[in-house]
Every structure is written in structure tokens, then in C-alpha cells.
A and B are shown apart, each in its own frame.
Chain A
């Protein structure tokens, strides 16, 4: 006998974590993945109730949800492509110009840290040239 509430608890945790990611992250692709994680939590709920009631209706609904999630993925990625062509960025903060009237704009106060310097890769000399290298002093 499998307990119902354990699976509901895992579904709630997945939904909550996905909600945090969807609300806070600014990369459109990461937001999309977080929304998909929330969908997984809901599917888990449906399957747990289906098992509890001994009815395949839960699995049938879960299949419909997977279908809708596939449609959502197709449309979301197409929209991301269009937005990227306009703004050359995946940042959802770039689109705050369409916010509600009277809402102050969000300004990023903290500057971004400077990019890390490129690591010093070794360079090969051009073929045939003598490498610039100090001769060891001979005693």
C-alpha cells in the first residue's frame, strides 16, 4: 500500500520551488524550465490521486497535461525566438516597458561584476621562428 500524502508533499515541494524560480529568475529559458517543473508537481498530484482511488482517470488527465505542456513548449520557444530577435537578449527585464501605467521602472542598482579575465593560454610560435627564450647562462 502506497501512501498518498508523501507524493502530494513532493508535488507541493516541486511546485513551490518552480514558483520561486519562475518569479525570481530573469532568463526566459530558465523561467520556462521552472514552469515545466511546476507542471511536473501537478502531474505527480494527479497520479497520486489516481493511484489512491484505483482509477486510471488520473493518468489520463496527466497525459492531457503532457500534451498541453508540449504545445506550451512549442509556443514559448517560438515567442522567445521573436523576443530575442527584437532585443538581442533573453532578459525578461528588457520588456518592462510594457508594464502597467503608473508603476515605477525597476532599476538595477548594483553594477555587474567585471568579467573574469581570459585565462592565459600558451601561444605557439609561428612555424620556423625561433622561440623568444633566454639562453641559460653558462658557467
Chain B
């Protein structure tokens, strides 16, 4: 990182340096009869990885907010890329298959970081089978004792490495252009997340206050908490027409969610969030109207008030989850699969069947025709 700062390359220069170093490293590492140098290739590859990692940290910041997540991310990322290089550069295909197994395990760790535990398990199972079958094929088909054409030669090592790393470098540059770190990031083509950190904090506080209010024994415990929840909610979703702000509410310090999102209402997701925020605002008005007029009036009905508050709290928690993956991953993925993508599931099943038939038909040993 200090070296990069000393050379003072801009982003394109850093990406180009990493790509050229990586291509040179792959060129030296690829197996061929003459000119292969594992030491030089390893050195250049490590240098390329260091430059790329420094670029990523400098440009995009830390991958996660917590230290554990950062350690895990860098561990899995280094494992995936490192074992990938081993797979490409390894002469022995059996050892290459082992390196591929480690690539799969590392990417599965990244899947976990991306909140996809079901896909992690499915990938481990599917690719464990695939790797075992590949192993069988290696044992069955490659029995070359010494050096062989397929393992000890490469096709155009220089041009191939340049092509692959030029592609990776271009993708990195496109990422840089689309990231908030690029100059003129006002034209950021990626939409911002609808709920900001402040919104989430207010919603969590409102949910806490509502839970306390719903668990309160009497009116003295219930009412202040309910009013506090109302103020927190009012900060995020505002007040419905005809709804008076509760006593003690300050003048609004920031625009409500709907005011902030309406001008940028570009995609279906933002529109959904606005609609849900409006719904939550009206629901809040309805609940507190009931509380003020009937339930806490002359003849208070505390049980009904608690039930209303509990229901409102569930709505708040659901709304706070907008823009986050649901916690129950397997049920969420299954629901999406069998409700929105049913045709795709059927087609995938048909594809598997056709592939099975095709594999059997291709691999079948044909009888020699009688002369």
C-alpha cells in the first residue's frame, strides 16, 4: 500500500499494474517444456494479488463492518484465488482436482458471508460429487508415467494469460467506475438502498418501545412507551393527513422516507418501499386513533390496547426488514422458487433429464458392426 502511494498511480494504473503482473505470473507458471519458472511465477502472482488487494481496500474500503467478517472475507477470497491459480498451474490433473475442491470450499465460505446457507450446502454436495467423479476419470484415463503432451504443454501461454487478465482488469475497472469511490459518483448507476442506517435505528427503537408498551402492566407503563414509539415512527414514515404529532415530538430534523424516495422513484423496489411506508403510516394513525378514542378513554381496555400495539410492532419489524434478506433462507428460497420461478424449476428438471439421457447415449460403447 505504501508502495502504491509512493508510485501514486490512479485507479486505472493500479488495475493495469495488477493485471500485467498477474499475466506475467501466469505466463511463468503455466507448464511447458522450456521456460517455466515456478519461483518467478509465484513471486509475480503474489505481487499481483497484493496490488489488487491494496487497490480493493483503497477504493472500496473494508468488506464488512466487523473485524470477524473482514478476516473471514480475506481468508476465503485468498483461498479461492490462490487455489484457483494452483489449479491452473498444476501439471498433475489429480492435484488440480484437489485444488478445485479447495476453491469450492472457499467460495462456499463467501456464500455464507452473503447470507446464502442453503446454496452453500447445495454447492458443497453437488461439487463434492462432481470432484469425486472427476477423480475417477483422472485415475481411469490418465496413466502417463512421464511428461505428456496434455499435461506439460500449454496452448499460447502468453496470449492466454494476457487475455484472461485483461478481461479481469476490465471488469475491475468497470466495478471501479460504478462504485461510489469513482470521481463524479453522483452519476452512480447503482440505486441506493432505500432504508438508511438512521431509518433502521429509529425503526428498531420504535419496535423496542412497542414491545415494552405491549408488555406493560398498567397505563403508566403503557402510555409513555407507546408515545415514544409513535415519535420514532413519525421520524421515519411521517404523519398521516389529519394525524397530529404526539406531544413532545420535535420539529422534523430530516425528511421522511417517502419525501426522500419519491424523487428517486425509479425502480419497482423503491416504489414498493414507498407504498409500504405509506401503509405503515396509515396503520400507525389507525392504531393510535383507537387508543386515544376508545381503548384508553373512559373505560380503558388494556388487553385490546396491548393486542393492537403488538400487531403494530409486527408491522414495524416487517417494514424494517425491507431491503434485507429474510432470515429463514431455505423457506424464502423455496417460496421464491415455487411461486415466482415455477416454469424455471420445471425447465431445469427437464434439462437434467435430457442431460442424463444424452450422457448415457454419448458414453455408451457402440457395438462394432459385423463385417
A-side residues, CB < 8 A to B, are 1-10, 12-21, 23-30, 32-34, 36-37, 40, 43-44, 47-48, 50-57, 59-60, 62-64, 66-75, 77-82, 84-85, 89-94, 106, 108, 110-116
Q: Which residues of chain B are near A75, meaning CB under 8 Å?
A: 355, 358-359, 362
Q: Which residues of chain A are near B168, meaning CB under 8 Å?
A: 12-13, 15-17, 19
B279 interfacial contact with A, CB 8 Å: no
Contact status of A12 and B172, CB under 8 A, knowing A20-B26, A26-B154, A84-B141: yes
Q: Which residues of chain B are near A6, meaning CB under 8 Å?
A: 56, 60, 63, 73, 77
Verify A73–B130 contact, CB threshold 8 A.
yes
B336 interfacial contact with A, CB 8 Å: yes
Verify A110–B32 contact, CB threshold 8 A.
yes
Chain B residue, CB-CB nearest to A48: B114
Verify A110–B146 contact, CB threshold 8 A.
no
Verify A64–B348 contact, CB threshold 8 A.
yes
Chain B residue, CB-CB nearest to A28: B150
Complex Cα–Cα for A67 and B127 (A):
11
Verify B114–A50 contact, CB threshold 8 A.
yes
Verify A33–B123 contact, CB threshold 8 A.
no
For the residues of B in contact with A, the DSSP-based class is helix
Complex Cα–Cα for A38 and B198 (A):
39
Chain A residue, CB-CB nearest to B158: A24
Measured CB to CB, the closest approach of chain A to B166, in angstroms, equals 8
Verify A82–B172 contact, CB threshold 8 A.
no
Verify A68–B351 contact, CB threshold 8 A.
yes
Chain A residue, CB-CB nearest to B65: A1
Verify B152–A112 contact, CB threshold 8 A.
yes
Contact status of A26 and B150, CB under 8 A, knowing A2-B69, A19-B164: yes
Q: Which 9 A-B pairs have CB atoms at the shortest separation, nearest pair first?
A: A115-B146, A16-B168, A20-B164, A71-B355, A21-B88, A24-B160, A91-B150, A23-B160, A12-B171
Chain B residue, CB-CB nearest to A17: B84
Measured CB to CB, the closest approach of chain B to A40, in angstroms, equals 5
Verify B96–A70 contact, CB threshold 8 A.
no
Verify A18–B161 contact, CB threshold 8 A.
no
Measured CB to CB, the closest approach of chain A to B269, in angstroms, equals 7
Chain B residue, CB-CB nearest to A91: B150
Chain A residue, CB-CB nearest to B84: A17
Q: Which residues of chain A are near B326, meaning CB under 8 Å?
A: 56
User: Per-residue 0/1 for B229-254: is the Cβ within 8 Å of any A Cβ (1 yes, 0 no)?
Assistant: 00000000000000000000000000
Verify B93–A40 contact, CB threshold 8 A.
no
Please name 17 further chain A to chain B contacts, defined as beta carbons within 8 Å, in addition to the given A26-B151, A64-B341, sorted by A numbering.
Answer: A3-B61, A6-B77, A10-B81, A19-B168, A24-B26, A24-B30, A24-B160, A29-B138, A33-B96, A34-B88, A36-B130, A47-B114, A52-B190, A64-B348, A67-B352, A89-B150, A113-B152
B119 interfacial contact with A, CB 8 Å: yes
Verify A15–B171 contact, CB threshold 8 A.
yes
Q: How many A-B residue pairs have CB under 8 A?
A: 299
Verify B137–A80 contact, CB threshold 8 A.
yes
Verify A44–B110 contact, CB threshold 8 A.
yes
Contact status of A32 and B175, CB under 8 A, knowing A53-B269, A75-B362: no
Verify A25–B154 contact, CB threshold 8 A.
yes
B142 interfacial contact with A, CB 8 Å: yes
Verify A60–B96 contact, CB threshold 8 A.
no
Chain A residue, CB-CB nearest to B181: A5
Chain B residue, CB-CB nearest to A21: B88
Q: Which residues of chain B are near A57, meaning CB under 8 Å?
A: 336, 340
Contact status of A67 and B333, CB under 8 A, knowing A19-B164, A110-B34: no
- Jot down 7 A-B pairs with beta carbons below 8 A, ordered by A: A6-B63, A10-B110, A14-B107, A29-B138, A48-B114, A60-B336, A73-B130
Contact status of A20 and B160, CB under 8 A, knowing A6-B60, A53-B269, A60-B337: yes
User: Per-residue 0/1 for B324-358: is the Cβ within 8 Å of any A Cβ (1 yes, 0 no)?
Assistant: 11100100110011001100100010011011101
Verify A9–B88 contact, CB threshold 8 A.
no
Chain A residue, CB-CB nearest to B335: A56
Verify B100–A26 contact, CB threshold 8 A.
no
Verify B154–A37 contact, CB threshold 8 A.
no
